[in-house]
Amino acid sequence: MKYDTNVEIMKAITRGDYGDPFSVLGMHDSGGGLVVRVFFPDALEVDVVDRHSHKHIASLERLLPEGFFAGQMGRRKKRFGYKLRVVLENDELYMEDPYSFGEVWTKKDSQHFAEGANYRLYDRMGAHCCKLGGIPGVLFAVWAPNASRVSVVGDFNNWDGRRHVMRLRHKASVWEIFIPDLVEGDHYMYEIKDRKGNLMALKSDPMGFAHECPPRTVSEVADIDSFKWADKNWMKSRAAKNALDAPISVYEVHLGSWRRVPEEGNRFLTYRELAEQLVPYLQDMGFTHLQVMPVHEHPYYGSWGYQPLGLFAPTRRYGTPADFKYLVEQCHKNGIGIFMDWVPGHFPTDDHGLSNFDGTSLYEHADPRQGFHPDWTTYIYNFGRTEVSNFLINNALFWLDRYHIDGLRVDAVASMLYLDYSRQDGEWVPNQHGGNTNLEAIDLLRRLNELVGDFDGAITIAEESTAWPGVSRPTSKGGLGFNFKWNMGWMHDTLEYMKLDPIYRRHHHHKMTFGMVYAFNENFMLPLSHDEVVHMKGSLLTRMPGDSWRRFANLRAYYGFMWGHPGKKLLFMGGEFAQEREWNHEISLDWHLTQNRFHHGVQTLVRDLNFFYRETPALHQLDCEPEGFQWIKVNEEEESYYAWLRFARNGRKPVLCVTNLTPVIRENHRLGVPNAGFWAERINTDLEVYGGSNVHNGEGVRTEDVPADEYAQSLVLTLPPLATLFLEYTG
């Protein structure tokens, strides 16, 4: 056969039906010398030329009209570097031959991938700008074990899947190809044929580092290694900033609706604009951490990011990967940590995404009783498949490694832990022991949390809504290994209480105290998140009872109660100035409200609470230890007030917190305290500056030698209406 070619194989290549084009195309020893074979549709001529001088070496003969060319390299017997000169009808190209490059994926890569032991898989898969043999280009690698053919398509090959068919590394089921001369910003997708040869919808890169702005679904080559970080000081110190005894006050933000630019078509702020506006605001308000709702690329904006498909790419709606890194860096340079919502529980069914990726249920369970989520009409990952669990763990570590994220708030953990979550009898499959716990998901979460520990100071936070034991306990002690857990029970109970008219509160008094029964079973974070201001729940302000004055007073008292309660704090954007309407992701927060006295008063209070909380060890140092808390008054149902003490580790400067949740001023109220001397009134949510009635105790109160509440001395206080007081012992 001429040039050692097989007609049927050549025809299969021109149809894009040949699964191993590297064995045919490129430079090969034919036995009678070197031969170069090229498939280039629409080419009129193809020559082999010197890589550097472009001097002619050989002309290739067209063997098939579809564009298959081949030719001998004269008397040359030693392989050499070359380029192709391709003549088109209206153009002439000098290009590297992608089929002239050898294998990149190693046996070690294959072994680690199969074992699920490669935790830097993102260094090898996806699209990487690099050089092979000194030639710049992009290396692509994708997992598709059941595909009969995988190609990279894009503008560079007119989206023709026959042009850049990838090489299959059988032991890993990973397909790879190095395409020279591609650069950052080039668009691409994967064209896949299933095991029967059926062409599927084009797929975005599961490990792509950037994508076009939705609704477009095209992946984009991004060089994420070129950013030069300048946050070394923060990274060295963050372990202390994220510790159990640190003050952690989190501002939760949806980046697309925190603030917009109405004069420019209501457009989003970019990551860099957010860095210039949001970061100073966080500093001014005293928040220690920013938590961003999912920034992974997601096709449907209305999902708020909780249905992501581009898990390795920050959404292009607000800028490039480098722009998002700039936002993170600016947080760090200004002393603010950044947590990110991470969604490993499910993914959307969009054709361009992970679903049915290679013609099979690759990432998802094939059985809908295990692989389909009825609440969100999404697919559930197959946590028991090694490659899938490794994909998810790699993704979590990727954000900590490449984007310097300080913590991951893991979404919907309960939906992962329980096989019967939101399912009726007969709609779920028991585990191997006949139970309802997802053993594979548990293993995944434990392994993840152990590996996060390798990133000094990085933490994980679980949104887990059940009584699963040991969520925030070490894996070595049988726990799941999270650092913190959202206290959903505290949030539900206290909001249920606060919406009641004060006249009825005495009947539900212990909704506010029940959280202390289990407060130290986990390392808790108290969340007033976005979930509490959507789906017709109204804003926090509108859930408070009474006229306008009482609603604001109730909200201020509630915030005081929250900041005095053990547990780290989280508040969703807008809550800090008492946003009146329910959150709408399509528009900006109502910043004009901050010009109103009462809204501005709440904003001032949250600022003061944050700074007092940060500066006062008694309010944060023993958040997760029972030694840091003691009730003084807990059973005052008829008067609906609560009093408790907070302590620092050394016992110095304890803080007395008192919350009066009736509109009645209570004078001459005696409370026992552990230290004799002066107790300074540090925060009073009823002060005029906050929009209150300005009932207060002056600069503070000195103890009297009158025993009360099992202490030898006591204070006589005036309790303002619908208010919380903080009094600090000063000696």
pLDDT tens by residue, 452-482: 999 999 999 999 999 999 999 999 999 999 9
Which tens digit of pLDDT belongs to each residue from 413-425? 999 999 999 999 9
The token duo for 29 is 């020893």
- Hey, what CATH topology would domain 626-729 get? Immunoglobulin-like (2.60.40)
Q: Which CATH number fits domain 107-220: 3.60.40.10, 1.10.3720.10, 1.10.510.10, 2.60.40.10?
A: 2.60.40.10
Q: Nearest-CA neighbor of 452 among 326, 323, 339?
A: 339
pLDDT tens profile 507-527: 999 999 999 999 999 999 999
Q: Output the CA torsion sign for 564, 565, 571, 577.
A: negative
Q: Is 347 helix (H, G, I), strand (E, B) or coil?
A: strand
Pairwise CA distance, residues 249 & 570, whole Å:
6
Contact, 97 vs 62, CB < 8 A?
no
Count of beta carbons in the 10 Å neighbourhood of residue 679? 26
DSSP state of 381: B
Give pLDDT, residue 709: 95
Query: What are the tens digits of pLDDT across the range 275-333?
Result: 999 999 999 999 999 999 999 999 999 999 999 999 999 999 999 999 999 999 999 99
Q: Are strands 92-95 and 126-132 parallel, antiparallel or unpaired?
A: unpaired
DSSP 551: H
What pairs with residue 58 in β-bridges? 48
Tell me, rounded to whole angstroms, the distance of Cα 256 from its chain centroid. 15
Is the domain covering 232-486 a CATH 3.20.20.70 domain? Answer: no
Q: What Cα–Cα distance (Å) separates residue 207 from each residue in 177, 190, 392? A: 15, 12, 10
Q: For position 294, what pLDDT does the model report? A: 97
Q: What is the pLDDT of residues 48-91, one digit of tens each?
A: 999 999 999 999 999 999 999 999 988 777 889 999 999 999 99
| Average confidence (pLDDT) over 648-673 | 95
What pLDDT does residue 3 have? 74
Q: What is the mean pLDDT of residues 526-531?
A: 97
Residue 1 has pLDDT above 60, yes or no: no
Model confidence at 699: pLDDT above 90: yes
| Beta carbons within 10 angstroms of residue 693's beta carbon | 16
Taking residue 131's Cβ as centre, other Cβ atoms within 10 Å add up to 11
Distance CA 681, CA 624 (A): 25
pLDDT of 503 strictly over 90: yes
Instruction: Count Cα neighbours of 254 within 13 Å in the Cβ-side half-sphere.
Output: 24
Q: How many CB atoms lie within 10 A of CB 174?
A: 25
Identify the sign of the CA torsion 436, 438, 443, 446.
negative
Identical fold between 2-97 and 107-220: yes
Q: Where are the alpha helices (DSSP H) in 27-69?
A: none
Parallel, antiparallel or unpaired: strands 249-253 and 289-292? parallel
User: What single letter denotes the amino acid at residue 411?
Assistant: D
End-to-end CA distance of the chain: 100
What are the residues whose beta carbons fall under 8 Å from the beta carbon of 253, sequence distance 6 or more? 278, 290, 291, 292, 293, 573
Who contacts 513 (Cβ-Cβ below 8 Å, separation ≥6)?
631, 634, 642
Decide: 562 and 555 in contact? Cβ < 8 Å: no
Q: Are 513 and 661 in contact (CB under 8 A)?
A: no
pTM: 0.95
How far apart, in whole angstroms, are the C-alpha atoms of residue 246 and residue 649?
12
Residue 220 exposure: Cα atoms within 13 Å on the Cβ side: 20
DSSP-H helix ranges across 116-231: none
| Residues paired with residue 341 on neighbouring β-strands, in sequence order | 409
Mean of pLDDT over the chain: 95
8 Å CB contact between 331 and 337: yes
pLDDT tens-place string over residues 679-696: 999 999 999 999 999 999
Which residues are marked as active site?
A: 411, 463
- Give the pLDDT band of residue 360 (cuts 50, 70, 90): very high
Q: Which of 46, 118, 114, 53 is nearest to 80 (CA)?
A: 53
The domain ranges of the chain are 2-97, 107-220, 232-486, 626-729
User: Which residue type sits at 57?
Assistant: I
2-97 to CATH, choices 1.10.220.10, 3.40.630.40, 2.60.40.10, 3.10.450.50: 2.60.40.10
Measure the CA–CA gap between 64 and 70, rounded to whole angstroms.
10
Q: pLDDT tens digits for 375-411?
A: 899 999 999 999 999 999 999 999 999 999 999 999 9
The predicted pLDDT at position 190 comes to 98
107 pLDDT higher than 70: yes
Strands 56-59 and 45-50: antiparallel
Beta carbons of 508 and 522 less than 8 angstroms apart: no
Q: What pLDDT does residue 115 have?
A: 81
Per DSSP, the residues of 264-288 read GTTEEPPHHHHHHHHHHHHHHHT-S
How many Cβ atoms are within 10 Å of 351's Cβ, its own excluded? 11
